[in-house]
Amino acid sequence: MVVTLFERYQAGARRQVWDDLVALGPAVFEPEWHADAVAVAATTMERAASNVATIVERLNRMGYRFAVPYWDSEALQESHDRERLRAQMVAAGEDPSWVDGGEPDQFAYTWAPRRGARREQIERADRIVGPLPISLRALWSNVGEVALQGSFLSWVPSAFAFEDELPWPEQGLYSAPLNLSDERAMFGYCTPGTDDIDARYRDDAGRFRYSLGADEIHGAGFSGGSHTVLLPQPTADPVVQGVRDHDGIRLVEYLRLCFDWGGFPGFASTGTAPAEIAALREGLLPI
């Protein structure tokens, strides 16, 4: 009896299955392999979404100060016209619900997985820079945006450059928090009124450098760089460029690294980790 890649993944051979998918190269899009690869990717990213939800819940419960709600709170306090702010967010394709919800908790982060939402936008992205790597498409379909930037007050130096009245420690800890953008990050690079990436943003081979998320410096609240993926990239799992100390790492491998360190892979390079990391990574699902 033939055992499919999906069945092998379900049985626990997760790393080997992804290695086998990558080894197929562009052939992974052929009918013989494609449906199996899509099933593996969907299950992988469903497990990744479960891990993100667990980490976010634990961080909120442990008193972590998330940067995104802090920024939202600051924007509301500075905005003199909430309707205008809301309209700007809608025009940018962003969720304006926090504008309508009254004063947000300054540091608590609300996150929910995609669960297949925004399919039309993902199809649009595929038309613009396809074929999309199978794992990236599954990430957008099942996980979506993630933003773990922030810090605990107990982390000295702080892992994020907050600017408020609290007595934050001096910045300088690079925890490299997991943060992921989604397909909308590329639409602003299209020529207005078209689905064509402006030639200025393509390399000599015609590829677009998609910003997957902030690097360890930008993720700490400073001017830094990005983790990027070149598109199109006809592969099961694309290389993510710009991940410190991990040249050539692929997307699923990067997510594994993040979950191994409770969402903060920067500690893999330090040799030590704060006590909170053990609690954050306990019991996360292997992907």
Amino acid letter, residue 83: E
Helix (H, G, I), strand (E, B) or coil at 161: coil
Q: What is the pLDDT of residues 153-171, one digit of tens each?
A: 888 888 888 766 455 556 6
Q: What is the pLDDT of residues 231-255, one digit of tens each?
A: 999 999 999 999 999 999 999 999 9
Residues of the chain with pLDDT under 70: 1-2, 71-86, 88-90, 92-106, 163-171
**Residue 142 near residue 46, CB atoms below 8 Å:** yes
Instruction: Name which of 47, 49, 2, 41 is nearest 22 in CA terms.
Output: 41
Judged on CB neighbours under 10 Å (0-12, 13-18, 19+), 11 is exposed
Q: What is the pLDDT of residue 272?
A: 83
Q: What is the pLDDT of residue 156?
A: 84
Q: What is the pLDDT of residue 271?
A: 75
Q: What is the pLDDT of residue 133?
A: 98
Strands (E), the chain: 65-66, 146-147, 150-151, 179-180, 208-214, 226-231
